[in-house]
Structure 1
Amino acid sequence: MKKMLLLCSMLLAGFMSQAQHTFELGDSTFLLDGKPFQMISGEMHYQRIPRECWADRLKMAKAMGLNTIATYVFWNMHEPEKGQYDFSGNNDVAAFVKLAREEGLWVILRPSPYGCAEWEFGGYPYWLQNIPGLQVRSMEPQFLAAYNKYIHAVGKQTAALQINHGGNILLVQIENEYGSYGSDKTYLEENRKLFTDAGFDGLLYTCDPSSDVEKGHLPGLLPAVNGMDDPEKIKALVRANHNGKGPFYIAEWYPAWFDSWGQPHHTVPSEKFEQRLERVLAAGISINMYMFHGGTTRGFMNGANYSGDRDYAPQVSSYDYDAPLDEAGNATPKFMKFREIISRHLPAGITLPPVPASKPAAALPTVTFTRSSPVFSQLPAPVQSVGPLTFEKLKQAYGFVLYRTTLQGGYKATLQLQELRDYAIIFVNGKRSAVLDRRLSQDSATLDLPKGNVTLDILVENLGRINFGSYLLKNNKGITDNVLLNGKPLQHWLQYKLPFSEMPVAKNNTSSKEAPVIKSGSFTLNQTADTYLDMSGWGKGLVWINGHNLGRYWKIGPQQTLYVPAAWLKKGKNTVAVLELLTPENNTLSSLDHPVLDKLQQP
């Protein structure tokens, strides 16, 4: 039986890759080769999944009953610096789309310059903020020029993979939830034109929350709906904005949610969504689960929410999302419930493949670090300025900047960082004196300055640019105004750029009780398996294994572990590095065979 299912799957994949298909909008359904077709789709982002694991995750999608995969395309990963494009490795979107075809899956491509997605700056590259007067999501000429170059670059990679060119991309989305931001139809029409000029000449669509569809859709394109699953309401809303016709597509259906640092972990029982999914599928409505598989937001690519004053909320590294497929790509009870429901709504003669077994997970040997170097002992050459410079002015996208100046001490003083973004550790003559956290609206501290010359160091971390709302245009990082001491601006700064874009190495071996440290070590494996680094006893920082940045950890939680895919481990010697900001005395690193994503702790 298994051999027969495998043969059927191979034949379907071969059929998709060789046959010419048509995909059109019918009055009430999508039409694939002229016949009604219901997309049962799940969202997963190739840039949140190790390339080595793409095929495994796609097989799991088929096993749950999905026939389509939706994915964002994040601009800041493909053009990290202006004019420097990267479609290699984990950024190879064309390879991901082709692999989906090999697994018998269609694709919905979402290459809008703006993605939201709990992703840094909503997907925009940081360097846009260095262009005076540029305004994202607008008709501002400089933005449109940059947008045009980017979407043409994506078009060169993927336009030929649309179904009308023999590929497996069914739909391509322009903009993203624009109605939650604006209502300029001229701007939306310009989006359509840019996409068409870039080679996206198949079916285009917009998607918006139900309350914003009227503002965010472009007449002539299919208006998809986010966050609603009442069939009759969906049909009425789409018909009202699409000449009285369908088809009907829920572009984002949320059976789960994401987490932010210092806030409780989100879980949503499948029972709340089982009848809703049944109802939607029975009504013949197409649906995309956001997320089917979240994966991990590694490195510095998490975004943040902000609505003013005290509401800055950066997201955690895990994008497990309580999704049907967990962070490591294993089926959850929610997966099994949804599979059961989907199986009742499959076309005649279609049988789901077996669900692959969960991948093994194990604890690694405990790592004892052999080298430890204070970050301040291996600084690069500084950039000098009178007033402090932002990350953007320093042409640094992510990571940290150390701001240093000297002054005369002998008194207590109030230090204020005007517009801190986002997290600062303050040192007086190398000793930690205060920590300021934008999440808590902290910008001031009282310092005891000893007599004589005093070195004042302020280490600032970019915790993630805002990814949603009007504050997209206020996303500079670092110290974005002045540093005041007793109300007077401090001047003459040295700025040390610490992007940590590569795995750091401890260049010496010096203990530290105060300053942030880089720790280097290794461990040996006889066999590999998924694992979860236990960071609950550490303070705050990042971890790299074999050159891969696994993401941020922070004692406050709720995330306490960092997922390490087996694909990034190897038999024999493995190297590990930790950047620890608050507890430099830690010297051992342990791991677990399961994640801990729901534990809040005091800092």
Structure 2
Amino acid sequence: MVVFRIRKTHRRQYGILCFTIAGLIIYHYIRMEPGLRKMSRREGLNASSSLFTLDGEEFRILGGSIHYFRVPRAYWKDRLMKMKSCGLNTLTTYVPWNLHEPERGVFNFKRELDLEAYINLAAEVGLWVILRPGPYICSEWDLGGLPSWLLRDENMKLRTTYPGFTEAVNSFFDKLIPKIVPLQFKRGGPIIALQVENEYGSYAKDINYMPFIKEALQSRGIDELLLTSDNHDGLKLGGVNGALKTINLQKLNTESLKYLDAVQPHSPKMVMEYWTGWFDAWGDLHHLFPAEDMVAVVRKILKQGMSINLYMFHGGTNFGFVSGALATPSYKALITSYDYDAPLSESGDYTPKYHLLKDLFNRYHTEKLPEMPPLRWREAYEAAIMYQHLSLWDALQFTGEPFRSVTPVNMENLPVNNGNGQSYGYTLYETTITSGGILNSGNNVRDRALVFVDKSFIGVFKYKSLELAVPDGKGQRTLSLLVENCGRVHYGKNLDDQRKGLVGDIVLNNIPLRDFTIYSLEMKPSFIESLFSAPWKYLPAMPTLPGFFQGRIFVDGYPSDTFVKLPGWNKGVVFINGQNLGRYWAIGPQQALYLPGPWLNSGINQVIVFEEQEADGKIHFEESPDLGMSVDIQ
């Protein structure tokens, strides 16, 4: 036997080493899978009595919604700290399937879409999390968050147990849920509950669908509290056994609360979506919900002992082409801003609602609330002079090979994006005509088309506008229709009917047009980058429209937030350093686009504007938002 003797002078170091090793062993024990350390398991959010309990202690959810995909990642922590400082204890967020799986089988959980980082950041700030993974999220988001490639199947039945849909959901959940499982409360994470789908009672086309989604979650390792959320009309059809029902509202409805008591006696009541404001559509007014009216309802909800989630606490922005649309009473596309008249403004400013809520929530805390984070500086930069121009027709060479078809093909079924079709943006359809006459859309334009003959503009087909006069001319001429997907409907029972582009025949003098050349203009970052090598020309006095305009914005020092304003322009899209800020449109209500400082560089920044019909020689940058003329929500 060999005996090791430790010198007296080394005993202290030896003791420290043993203590360190013991500490590491304890640390790794704590980090073990829950099944291996049953003594350390905690009781999750429980709804078996009239009040929630968390880890065995009474708990009231004071929640708020902030969507990571509507906020620049550089500002995630700022917005969450402002939530914590207001007195909220729980973050809720949707998960947008269409962003995380833009092409079938191609997944993105990086950078602005790093869901795990967002959830861990909430925990770091001191917030619990209620996750709403869909697959349908509504949220005034294109197709309610469902990926457009689902619509390539002409028989697709969204939000049902149709095999083509359930197979796609299972594939997405196979990728998503394993990222969520370790972040559950019982495993040491911040997620205390998950929502099963979203407002299914307002859809309710398949009684087997909600049980399918519930099983899809639980079979992959979800074992925290499940809940459903529905508005008043959907409450009776939207639930599923084993999930707590919650309600969505803006004004208290006694009948709905009585119904919740009847179907869930001795269960906690929760308003899952208390609508702090509302969203806006192009051509409407900006909706406001007076702060005093909003807080009065919140006060009543809390006095009744209910839990609450503020939708939205901070709305953010629908950057790019992801805004949804209304189907009834007629089609209306939604604006780029998702300010929502929320307690935190689109750019993260405190509003009167925030201060009133902070004062109210402070009464429900025994400890002092954290200090409010300081506001960020905003800058009114010098106007960007548009010094170069590129017509749409000259830009077509950068769109990739056009597709030729005898009949029109809708956007989703175009042979682009590795067989996944086109999701967003514009599609150009061109064919040859030999006469003038009456051009009839047959309600097959989705959603808006600029019409040209030999590149000369002759009119616009809007949603359901049917006829245009085509002038007479000699010989063969090119008829072009530049069709914009203005946003797929996000809510209602006609989700299956949201294919875009030309969805049927266009008729000239009662004869269907044939033999189309089709260009996909999705305007992805790769396309905008390709324009660097385009044959730009110095801006002429009368530029050809539609077209792209290029300018520069100079930032002296550290970049600040600003707002892009376009007086003298009509309708189009703004790109800053390749980032798509979203659509602008002179009809309002929104008159300025939010430009986050982190998307700017110190020094020179590239500005590209795609304009459809009317251009000015410069764009402006202002310190303040402009969401247009407003109207109070009644």
**Residue in structure 2 matched with residue 406 of structure 1 by the alignment:** 432
Question: Cα distance, 1:536 vs. partner?
Answer: 3.4
CA distance in 2, matches of 1:66, 1:495: 51
**Residue in structure 2 matched with residue 5 of structure 1 by the alignment:** none
**Residue in structure 1 matched with residue 16 of structure 2 by the alignment:** none
**Residue in structure 2 matched with residue 396 of structure 1 by the alignment:** 422
CA distance in 2, matches of 1:429, 1:202: 61
Letter in 2 for 1:86: N
Is 1:376 aligned with 2:397?
Answer: no
Letter in 1 for 2:478: T
CA shift digits 1:245-278 (9 cap, x unpaired): 2111110001200000001110111111222211
Map residues 64-463 of structure 1 onto 2, 5 A cutoff: 64-182=86-204, 184-227=206-249, 230=252, 235-242=257-264, 244-307=265-328, 311-346=330-365, 348=366, 350-379=367-396, 380=399, 381-394=401-414, 395-409=421-435, 411-438=436-463, 441-463=464-486
Letter in 1 for 2:587: I
**Residue in structure 2 matched with residue 7 of structure 1 by the alignment:** none
1:327 counterpart SS class: coil
1:445 counterpart SS class: strand
**Residue in structure 1 matched with residue 593 of structure 2 by the alignment:** 562
Letter in 1 for 2:626: V
Give the root-mean-square deviation of aligned CA atoms.
1.8
Identity rate, percent: 36
CA distance in 2, matches of 1:445, 1:185: 45
Map residues 516-535 of structure 1 onto 2, 5 A cutoff: 516-527=546-557, 528-535=559-566
Question: Cα distance, 1:283 vs. partner?
Answer: 2.4
**Residue in structure 2 matched with residue 597 of structure 1 by the alignment:** 627
Letter in 1 for 2:625: P
Is 1:485 aligned with 2:505?
Answer: no
CA shift digits 1:439-490 (9 cap, x unpaired): xx31321121322221111100000011111110100001100010011101
Question: Cα distance, 1:207 vs. partner?
Answer: 0.8
Worse-matched range after superposition: 443-452 or 188-197:
443-452
Question: Cα distance, 1:523 vs. partner?
Answer: 2.2
Letter in 1 for 2:471: D
1:292 counterpart SS class: strand
Question: Cα distance, 1:429 vs. partner?
Answer: 1.0
Over 3 Å counting, the alpha-carbon distance change for 1:406 and 1:183 in structure 2 is closer
**Residue in structure 1 matched with residue 34 of structure 2 by the alignment:** none
Question: Cα distance, 1:414 vs. partner?
Answer: 3.3
CA shift digits 1:214-251 (9 cap, x unpaired): 21111221001111664965653223222x22111110
Larger radius of gyration: 2
Letter in 1 for 2:338: Y
**Residue in structure 2 matched with residue 13 of structure 1 by the alignment:** none
CA distance in 2, matches of 1:39, 1:131: 41
Is 1:553 aligned with 2:584?
Answer: yes
**Residue in structure 1 matched with residue 9 of structure 2 by the alignment:** none
CA distance in 2, matches of 1:550, 1:402: 22
Letter in 2 for 1:488: I
In the alignment, structure 1 segments of 5+ residues that lack a partner are 1-16
Q: Does the CA contact (< 8 Å) of 2:449 and 2:460 recur in 1? A: yes
In the alignment, structure 2 segments of 5+ residues that lack a partner are 1-29, 32-39, 415-420
**Residue in structure 2 matched with residue 22 of structure 1 by the alignment:** 43
**Aligned pairs, number:** 575
* TM-score, with length taken from structure 1: 0.92
Question: Cα distance, 1:82 vs. partner?
Answer: 0.5
Q: Does the CA contact (< 8 Å) of 1:415 and 1:483 recur in 2? A: yes
Q: Does the CA contact (< 8 Å) of 1:235 and 1:246 recur in 2? A: no
Is 1:51 aligned with 2:78?
Answer: no
CA distance in 2, matches of 1:523, 1:147: 43
CA distance in 2, matches of 1:21, 1:281: 27
Q: Does the CA contact (< 8 Å) of 1:420 and 1:443 recur in 2? A: no
CA distance in 1, matches of 2:314, 2:248: 18
**Residue in structure 1 matched with residue 3 of structure 2 by the alignment:** none
CA distance in 2, matches of 1:28, 1:493: 64
Over 3 Å counting, the alpha-carbon distance change for 1:232 and 1:417 in structure 2 is closer
